[in-house]
Amino acid sequence: MTERQIPKWSDLKPLLRVKPLELDPTTRRLQNALSIADLRTAARRRTPRSVFDYTDGAADAEISLRRARMLFRNLELRPSILHDVSSVDTTTQMLGSPAAVPFSFAPTGFTRMMHHEGEGAVARVAGRRGIPYALSTMGTTSIEGVAEASPEARKWFQLYVWKDRSAGEDLMARAKAAGYEALMLTVDVPVAGARLRDVRNGFSIPPALTLKTLLDIGTKPAWWVNMLTTEPLTFASLSSWEGTVAELLDQLFDPSMTLADLEWLRASWDGPLIIKGIQTVEDAQRVTDAGADAIVLSNHGGRQLDRAPVPLRLLPDVAEAVGDRTEVWVDTGIMSGADIVAALALGADATMVGRAYLYGLMAGGERGVDRAAEILTREVQRTMALLGVSSVTELGPQHVRLP
By annotation, the residues acting in catalysis are 300
Whole-number Å distance between alpha carbons of 69 and 91: 25
Sign for the CA dihedral angle at 8, 10, 15, 17 comes to positive
Q: How far is CA 59 from CA 102, 109, 212, 313, 325, in A?
A: 28, 16, 23, 20, 33
Q: How far is CA 271 from CA 179, 268, 287, 317, in A?
A: 11, 9, 16, 28
Whole-number Å distance between alpha carbons of 257 and 402: 35
Whole-number Å distance between alpha carbons of 180 and 157: 7
What is the signed CA dihedral for 187, 188, 189, 190, rounded to 10 degrees? 80
**Three-state SS for 44?**
helix
Q: Which residues pair with 77 in a beta bridge?
A: 400
Return the H-helix or E-strand segment holding 378: helix 355-387
Whole-number Å distance between alpha carbons of 325 and 162: 29
